[in-house]
Every structure is written in structure tokens, then in C-alpha cells.
Amino acid sequence: MKSIVKKYLPFGIVVALFYLVMPIFFQGENYKYDAIEYQFVFPATALLSGLIYAWRNGMDFAFPLVPPIIYIASVLIYSHYYHWAIYVFIYLIVCMLGCFIGDMVYKGNQAEQRRRERARRRDEENFTIHISNITVEDSLNDFEAKDKNQ
């Protein structure tokens, strides 16, 4: 359970900041900019959070639920207009799209890291000299015995 919280918490906090703090700035006189928030800012936040999450952690089908859940809280706190609830599905799909794109990048990064690791190991094996006739323990025991005698 702790690992899930550690993976989701930083992204959940960023999404919550956007979804719960941004509506404060679009209240009152700035209500005409509300559509910009719902149609551009929130989907961009869902897309980027899904992209970065999957880029770091790989694909996780539970993460795309985080932005819509936080958005539901935002709707309940600020707008009370339930016709905005259709955006729950839009943010879910957009976040899932971000996760798929991030997962493709993540797999590409993993393949590149494996290729580099194989090349590094191959280079190490070419320059490593293995000596099997020398035992370090015997020489250390002889050294300790000489120190005790002196």
C-alpha cells in the first residue's frame, strides 16, 4: 500500500493543485474563462500527468482514475453544475492516452538502458583479467601472522 501511495502522491498533489486551486481564479468576474479551464487547462494537466507518470513508472491502469476523481471533488466544491460531469470521461480518456504515450517512451528508455548495459558488460569482459591461482585469504593470513610475531 505504501508503494502505491509513494507512486501516486506527487502526481496526485500536482493534479489536485491544478483542479482545486485553478477554479478559485476563475470565479466571479472571470467566469467567462471557465470554459478555457475545463477544455484546455484540465485536459493538459491530465495528459501531462499521465505522460510523466507512465514515463517514470510504466503503464498503470489505475493512475488514469486519479485526475477524474480529483475533478469530481472540484465540481462538488466549486461549480455544483453536474453538466460538467461529462468531463470526467474526457479527462479519463486523455490521461489514459498520456499513460500510453508515456509507456511507449518508458519502454524505449528501458530498451536503450539494456542495450547500454550489455555494451558496458561486453567492454568490461574484454579488458578483465581473471587470475585464479592466487588466493587472497592465504596471503592475508600470512601477513597477520607476521604482524603477530613482530
Question: How do the pLDDT tens digits run along the chain, 150 residues long?
Answer: 677 778 888 888 888 888 888 877 776 665 666 777 778 888 899 899 998 888 888 888 888 888 888 888 888 887 766 667 788 899 899 999 999 998 888 887 777 888 888 888 877 666 555 566 655 444 545 555 555 555
Question: Would 133 be classed as within a structural domain?
Answer: no
Cell of 119: 555494451
CB count within 10 Å of CB 4 equals: 11
Residue 130, domain member (yes or no):
no
- Name which of 112, 100, 110, 5 is nearest 54 in CA terms: 100
145 within domain boundaries: no
Query: What is the model's pTM?
Result: 0.66
Q: Give me the domain span that covers residue 75.
A: 2-125
CA dihedral of residues 93, 95, 100, 104 (deg, nearest 10): 160
Predicted pLDDT of residue 93:
92
Domain count of the fold of the chain: 1
Closest CA to 14 of 52, 54, 55: 52
